[in-house]
Amino acid sequence: MAVEEEGLRVFQSVRIKIGEAKNLPTYPGPNKMRDCYCTVNLDQEEVFRTKIVEKSLCPFYGEDFYCEIPRTFRHLSFYIFDRDVFRRDSIIGKVAIQKEDLQKYHNRDTWFQLQHVDADSEVQGKVHLELRLSEVITDTGVVCHKLATRVLECQGLPIVNGQCDPYATVTLAGPSRSEAKKTKVKKKTNNPHFDEVFYFEVTRPSSYNKKSQFDIEDVDEVDKMEIRVDLWNASNLKFGDEFLGELRLPLKFLRQSSSYEAWYFLQPRDNGNKSLKPDDLGSLRLNVVYTEDHVFSSDYYSPLRDLLLKSADVEPVSASAAHILGEVCREKQEAAIPLVRLFLHYGRIVPFISAIASAEVKRTQDPNTIFRGNSLTSKCIDETMKLAGMHYLQVTLKPIIDEICQVHKPCEIDPVKLKDGENLENNRENLRQYVDRIFTVITKSGVSCPTVMCDIFFSLRESAAKRFQGDPDVRYTAVSSFIFLRFFAPAILSPNLFQLTPHHPDPQTSRTLTLISKTIQTLGSLSKSKSANFKESYMATFYDYFNEQKYADAVKNFLDLISSSGRRDHKSIEQPILLKEGFMIKRAQGRKRFGMKNFKKRWFRLTNHEFTYQKSKGDHPLCSIPIENILAVERLEEESFKMKNMFQVIQPERRVLYIQANNCVEAKDWIDILTKVSQCNKKRLTVYHPSAYLNGHWLCCKATADNTPGCTPCTGGLPANIQLDIDGDRETERIYSLFNLYMPKLEKMQEACGSKSVYDGPEEEEYSTFIIDDPKETYKTLKLIIEGVGTLEQEHAQYKRDKFKKTKYGSQEHPIGDKSFQTYIRQQSEISAHSI
């Protein structure tokens, strides 16, 4: 979800690898071990939770998490919890990275020391205040100074233990006095509107002889005073109200202006306690990739986008803009992700991959090493398979992967690793059955393989067969090196990375999947001496089960089917595809004439056929909504039920299902995928009610009839293709950012082209890393890239300058205390000074 600014969309996303924790403090009991999990939080809002690793002080998680960030935030935080069966889970420590510091750790494995967590430091949100210092002349002709403090509203306060009933205290404090006042409690909202004014007498009455001036004695007193605003959550617990954040403002700044109104970020409270050393709590290994793309309207990107899209037609392809991006990026994966998404969006992925694959095949000398390196070709095909083949994996592998994760059959075949009571032959048989079932389901799934993958495989097969005409198997190995080695085998090995399981499997299951993956990979490789592929003797022995010609024949038939042009009539898959599932809270729809419309926790399940909910996972559905009956999916305003992260699924006859997701990221995911899957419904609504129908009227437009048409236009249409919901302009902006980042390499590549053109001797070492087949054509393309990037860079700089002029520090968008905006102001000041 993009945040709209003037003529520009801002996208935020984060990709996180949660590695492991080390040296956590021991549990104060005889066992000393802990059962720990890690959460990912935007400020205080949890958006992801890892599995629990039991009985360890050095838990390994190995989990990946990606999300689009739908709101502003100040900190990306990670909390390590210790599970407690009988009480609330306890926090061991946290890592909090300020938003403006995320680039320091961009795409680097980093160990972070865990910090202590206390209620006084866990704050988020902002407060809107108005302060007015005025003189009051009494009836007796004396003057005193009064301070009016108006607390207007707060936004984004944290939700504590599932609820937020905030109030504010306002305190005027000085060396010799302290006077406090309190607002009313606002129930069930983390965006409270107070609009209450409090008056404080600042100075003692004095003779009215110095209008608008303080006596000398009073000036000293005022300079030492401060106004403090504390936000609290009214709690029913015996522990008392929870601190949400504070703001301290010295009164001396009001001497410059008698009235001041602004937004402020709430700050943590210094409780004066001395915390333990950070290393007492252990450390956490993380890899964080945060991106923020500022995307202009489509016409801004035309020159660069057109240059990229014609890459497949450039001769040689190494002189194309897309290939050059792969040459200058530090990692091929960096270039492959936006390139693949851009080419998929514009329907150019097959000719582009065909062109770069053909060029790579021509450079390959040994057919046994074809497509085995981490080249731009292999990374682009990997990314295409991930995007286009995700639901193909769901259909083929998910049912049996789920069974393996749930049943926990012993499958260890290494005699050294056998547990007490396990039988080696039984384990081999269990493993053999799993391998046989997975092999069968893969080799019979050719008809379900996505068209775009089949077209790419056809191109690979043709290029390889033409290059190595004396090798009859190369047409198979060129395809199997992707579909088996880089698609099915990795998905079996790490199902969580392919959305087949929510978390990294437990150690026993992970070991079983490793053994299955190794066997499937070898079966798919079609190499001559299979047993020799295994370093471990127990794997070579186990593989003897599969040394039959029928397995090789099945692989070849499967590879023939998925790499043959015009092989079949592409029909939709009849089997329902599970798209998303999980617990959420729903409000009764009023299907029964008599009954309370209360809120209940239910397990929701979405397939490409229907949207259902039941009491628990695996139960019979209590309600089923066919996809064709979903007329709109929209957010629900918080005021409706005083609950955050709510959305509505609108059905025929104005029936509405109100649902609350667990957090803002999950709410966005559900809204997006429900919208996409129902996008082609013929009776989709064009207008809706953003609030609920309560107490005889719609809260949004006040209409009294429950069948009144909506008062707000439905959100814009999205592509109906669930797998490939891509924003072409955003991907072009990402590519621009990469070119801009690696501009020194582009310039170095220009130098290399010049050197090659005029000097046909041994290459300089710094130039040898680039693939340059035609220096003149490559130089032309580089010149166009640098010009296009320079133009976009100027547009971004102008936009920042214009925004800088319009933006007020202390506004709702940039509250006082916004460090990222302060940094930006400093940078702009330096730029202005430099230009002067």
Q: Do 635 and 543 reside in the same domain of the chain?
A: no
Instruction: Say if 836 falls within a structural domain.
Output: no
Instruction: Say if 56 falls within a structural domain.
Output: yes
Helix 451-467 to helix 376-388 angle, to the nearest 10 degrees?
150
Q: Which of 711, 729, 749 is the last residue of a domain?
A: 711
- What percentage of the chain reaches a pLDDT higher than 90? 43
Q: Determine whether 285 is exposed, middle or buried from the number of CB atoms within 10 Å of its CB (0-12, 13-18, 19+).
A: middle
Q: Is the pLDDT of residue 67 over 60?
A: yes
Confidence of residue 457 (pLDDT cuts 50, 70, 90): very high
Q: Is the pLDDT of residue 668 over 70?
A: yes
Question: Quick one: tokens of 507?
Answer: 């150690």
Q: Is the pLDDT of residue 504 over 60?
A: yes
Residue 407: which CATH number? 1.10.506.10
Alpha carbon separation from 327 to 322, 363, 745, 769, 770 (Å, rounded): 9, 16, 9, 8, 6
Task: Give the H or E element holding residue 15.
Answer: strand 8-22
CA 243 to chain centre: 29
Q: Specify the pTM.
A: 0.77
What number is the average pLDDT over the span 13-41? Answer: 91
Q: Do 411 and 548 reside in the same domain of the chain?
A: yes
Exposure string of 776-785, with b = 16+ CB inside 10 Å and e = fewer, is ebbbebbeeb
Residue 597: which CATH number? 2.30.29.30
Q: Do 695 and 641 reside in the same domain of the chain?
A: yes
The DSSP output letter for 767 is G
Q: Hey, is 27 helix, strand or coil?
A: coil
> Is the model more confident about 781 or about 88?
781
543 Cβ contact list (under 8 Å, min separation 6) = 519, 522, 530, 531, 534
In sign, the C-alpha dihedral spanning 601, 75, 160, 699 is: negative
Report the amino acid identity of residue 793.
E
Q: Determine whether 360 is exposed, middle or buried from the number of CB atoms within 10 Å of its CB (0-12, 13-18, 19+).
A: buried
On whether the CB atoms of residues 185 and 167 are closer than 8 A, the answer is yes
Instruction: Say if 822 falls within a structural domain.
Output: no
Q: Do 591 and 503 reside in the same domain of the chain?
A: no
Q: Do 538 and 654 reside in the same domain of the chain?
A: no
Task: End-to-end CA distance of the chain: give it in Å, rounded.
Answer: 39
Query: What pLDDT was estimated at residue 596?
Result: 55
> Is the model more confident about 245 or about 532?
245
**Tell me: the pLDDT tens digits for 565-601?**
544 433 333 456 677 899 999 987 655 544 456 889 9
Q: Which domain holds residue 463?
A: 379-561
| Residue carrying the six token digits 């191109």 | 459
* CA triple 47-51-52, angle to 5 deg: 120
Confidence of residue 237 (pLDDT cuts 50, 70, 90): low
Q: Is the pLDDT of residue 244 over 80?
A: yes
Instruction: Say if 322 falls within a structural domain.
Output: no
Q: Is the pLDDT of residue 833 over 60?
A: no
**Tell me: the pLDDT tens digits for 148-193?**
999 999 988 887 777 788 999 999 988 878 889 999 999 888 889 9
Confidence of residue 719 (pLDDT cuts 50, 70, 90): very low
CB atoms near residue 798 (< 10 Å): 10
Instruction: Say if 133 falls within a structural domain.
Output: yes
Instruction: Say if 370 falls within a structural domain.
Output: no
Q: Do 389 and 535 reside in the same domain of the chain?
A: yes
Confidence of residue 368 (pLDDT cuts 50, 70, 90): confident
Alpha-carbon distance of 55 to 35, in angstroms, equals 5
Most confident of 29-43, 514-528, 730-744: 730-744
CB atoms near residue 252 (< 10 Å): 13
CB atoms near residue 527 (< 10 Å): 13
Instruction: Say if 77 falls within a structural domain.
Output: yes
User: For the chain, how many structural domains are there in total?
Assistant: 4
Q: Do 133 and 82 reside in the same domain of the chain?
A: no
Alpha-carbon distance of 667 to 247, in angstroms, equals 31
Q: Which of 530, 561, 592 is the last residue of a domain?
A: 561
Alpha carbon separation from 717 to 194, 545, 672, 681 (Å, rounded): 37, 53, 11, 12
Q: Which of 86-90, 349-353, 432-436 has the lowest mean pLDDT?
A: 86-90
Q: Do 414 and 489 reside in the same domain of the chain?
A: yes
Query: What pLDDT was estimated at residue 835?
Result: 41
What number is the average pLDDT over the span 425-440? Answer: 94
Residue 105: which CATH number? 2.60.40.150
Query: What pLDDT was estimated at residue 28?
Result: 83
Q: Do 420 and 527 reside in the same domain of the chain?
A: yes
Question: Quick one: tokens of 62?
Answer: 């190995």
Strand (E) positions, 183-272? Answer: 193-201, 206-207, 226-233, 242-250, 259-265
Exposure string of 151-181, with b = 16+ CB inside 10 Å and e = fewer, is bbbbbbbbbbeebbbbbbbbbbbeeeeeeeb
* CA triple 181-268-262, angle to 5 deg: 60
Q: Do 473 and 612 reside in the same domain of the chain?
A: no
Q: Do 462 and 519 reside in the same domain of the chain?
A: yes
Confidence of residue 803 (pLDDT cuts 50, 70, 90): confident
CB atoms near residue 530 (< 10 Å): 19
Q: Do 101 and 155 reside in the same domain of the chain?
A: no
Confidence of residue 280 (pLDDT cuts 50, 70, 90): confident
What number is the average pLDDT over the span 455-480? Answer: 88
Instruction: Say if 179 falls within a structural domain.
Output: yes
